[in-house]
Amino acid sequence: MMKMSTTQRAAVAAAKAKEVKTCCNCWHIKFGIITLGLIELIAVALILSGMFTQIINKSRKFNCDEKLTLR
């Protein structure tokens, strides 16, 4: 292994510092993963609630003459 001068070591350290791990190139990786995970969790919950609503409403039988009541 070659010995590096102090200047070379400083240049290598500066180059590595530019490659800090980020999420979406703006957040720290831990904060970004938590934020994106929460957004995905909310989206999945909305999709599932919509599916369950469709299933529940599909089993109901409505007559056009009946008055619909909203709960």
pLDDT at 4: 75
22-46, pLDDT tens digit by residue? 766 777 888 888 999 999 999 999 9
43-62, pLDDT tens digit by residue? 999 999 999 988 888 777 76
CA 2 to CA 25: how far, in whole Å?
A: 34
pLDDT above 60: residue 1: no
Answer for the pair 12, 4: CB distance below 8 angstroms, yes or no.
yes
What is the DSSP pairing of strand 27-28 with strand 22-23?
A: antiparallel
CA 69 to CA 60: how far, in whole Å?
A: 13
Range with lowest mean pLDDT among 17-21, 48-52, 56-60, 67-71: 67-71
pLDDT at 71: 59
Half-sphere exposure of residue 61: CA atoms within 13 angstroms, side-chain side: 0
